[in-house]
Amino acid sequence: MNLNFRQKLLKIYIVSLACIAMTYRMVFDAGSKALKCAIADENKNILAMESILPEVIQSADGFGRNWEHTKYWNNLLDLAKKTIKKSEINSQEIKYITTSIIRPSCVFTDEDLNPLYIGSSFDVQGIDYGDEIDEKLKKMTGETLYHHTGHFPNFLMIPSRLEFLRNNPEKIANKKIVHYLPLDSWILVKLGGELHTNYTSAMESGFFSLKEKIWLDEWFSIFNIDEDFFPPPVFSGEVIGNVISSVQEQLQLNSDVDLVAGIPDTQAALLASNSITPGEVGVVLGSTTPVQLITEDLCIDEQERAWATGILVKNLCDNYIVEANTGITGQIVKWAAHLFDSKLRTKFLEPTDKQYNSLQEQLHNFDEHEQKESEDHVLSHSVYANLGPSTLTSSDRSAGEFYFPSPGGVEEFFMHQNQLVGAVFDNIMFAVSRNIDLAKEIAQMEQFSLTILGGLSRYKLLNQRFADLYSLPTRYLVDPEASIQGLLILCDVASGKIKDSSDYQRSFSADDLVKLEPRLTMTSKLQEKYKKWMSITKI
């Protein structure tokens, strides 16, 4: 037997062993509308992903918005079956399961952990109780709900929902609420995990003391609840149990599937983009745009202009976050696709890749023009837009405006559609930059690094212009499914593949995070445009 043939046989044998040893991860991501399930291999390659739109129940007054709790669990299991089938893997080889949720979703259950209420992030049924609860807490502790939990407005937070349900027991069939769980934790508990929450989801609840990292004692008397009402917190990435036999049977899973404590979707995205250490700014360009600055110390803004929260992952980080954001972002680009395509505008159709690619082409032409022109010309001919997102404390002034250069004297300005498209994208960049500046001010931090992620990061030129504006090397995450990728990293933490920060850093490649160097010829132009935009849109 010659050497080459022996080497080929050895290679085949090694590959065969690798295939035999392969295990898979199944993760769930519950967003504002869709519930996604994905299956991936050990190398974070997604083999299948499916989604459903769980039924939503809305109240007649429009304030109530919660998921149909009697169907949610069976829908989730059906989704898992569908995803497993699509992946074409042996479901017995699924080893890890974890979850993420949009903030601040929640579940209130009976004593057997059956759901009585599953609330989405936009349920404001407690609108009449937020200030009342805040006053009670302030009398007992001397500090407001915001100073304890880092979150506002009060009517959106989960304590207000609990008070609403206590005062309207018919909404939960007059049953007693025994437990509170974040939705991600409840899914894992229903799968067989121990009663728990992850610290990061607890920090988003409105019940949790950010400073002490414990549930506030005052809630027990305010709501007259038992001591086991709140689940014990653990770090994301901790194994919290195995799948129970009934679920094993339904999904054809092995008995040793590990359930891994999850994390909220935004923090999952930070984890996926290597943005978990102090000084990192992660900008999630999605439906909304959380701008999150990682800090070592808790920063509660005395002017209540931003949220405070955290990110705690086993063996990797235990840090705080200053978050400045609100309002729509992704919808702006969808709106622009309609605005600049007459067929879509008249028929109210969903934009296709063709329309989005058209926006990208026009953005390219706009950027190319600004590169060629002088700074004076760029400033005198620029169109500005005020479309959102805004700051958390913006006034009631409506955003939805374009500002055009005024023709006058012997000079006339002729507008091109490229300028309007450019104004749409510049508006997003400038609005995000305003929130970055606010987060830096609150954290008293000058030096930072920037990573762009989320669905709109596919507009690479937008990412580049961020780097230009700040004259700062800027990264963007290639995979738009940032939360899913963050969950897969949690599975690596649980498996021991990622044991520490060094392992974590080594898990990223240039193919995952692309680094963009600033174009110095564009920096001054964009900085001057940003100043002008700020003066126009100042609230």
A 10 A CB-CB count for 5 gives: 9
Question: CA-to-CA distance for 39 and 28, rounded, in angstroms?
Answer: 9
Length in residues, the chain: 539
Kindly indicate the confidence band of residue 508, based on its pLDDT and cuts at 50, 70 and 90: very high
The domain locations on the chain are: 22-263, 274-326+433-513, 330-428
With bands split at pLDDT 50, 70 and 90, how would you rate the model's confidence at 17? Answer: very low
Residue 527 has pLDDT above 90, yes or no: yes
Cis peptide preceding 290, ω within 30 of 0: no
178: which 2 tokens?
């025994």
Using 50, 70 and 90 to split pLDDT, how confident is the model at 347? low
Q: Whole-angstrom Cα distance, residue 495 to residue 194? A: 18
Question: Model-level pTM?
Answer: 0.91
Residue 18 has pLDDT above 50, yes or no: no
Superfamily name with CATH number, domain 274-326+433-513: ATPase, nucleotide binding domain (3.30.420.40)
Are 168 and 281 spatial neighbours (Cβ–Cβ below 8 Å)? Answer: no
**In a 3-state reduction of DSSP, which class is residue 355?**
helix
pLDDT tens digits along 441-487:
999 999 999 999 988 899 999 999 999 999 999 999 998 899 999 99
* Rounded to 5°, angle at Cα 347 from 346 and 351: 105
At residue 408, the pLDDT reads 58
Q: Which amino acid is at 373?
A: E
| Tens-place pLDDT, residues 241-299 | 999 999 999 999 999 999 999 999 999 999 999 999 999 999 998 878 889 999 999 99
> Across 102-106, 152-156, 437-441, which has the greatest mean pLDDT?
437-441
What sign does the dihedral 206-264-200-320 (CA atoms) show? negative
Compute the C-alpha angle 472/478/484, nearest 5°: 120
Instruction: With cut-offs at 50, 70 and 90, classify the pLDDT of residue 348.
Output: low
Are 115 and 106 in contact by the 8 Å Cβ rule? The answer is no
Name the class of domain 22-263: alpha beta
Q: What is the mean pLDDT of residues 120-138?
A: 90
- Residue 16 has what pLDDT? 44
CB 234 within 8 Å of CB 175: no
Q: Hey, what amino acid is at 130?
A: G
| Burial class of residue 249 (count of CB atoms within 10 Å of its CB; 0-12, 13-18, 19+) | exposed
What per-residue confidence (pLDDT) applies to 84? 98
pLDDT band at 9 (very low <50, low <70, confident <90, very high): low
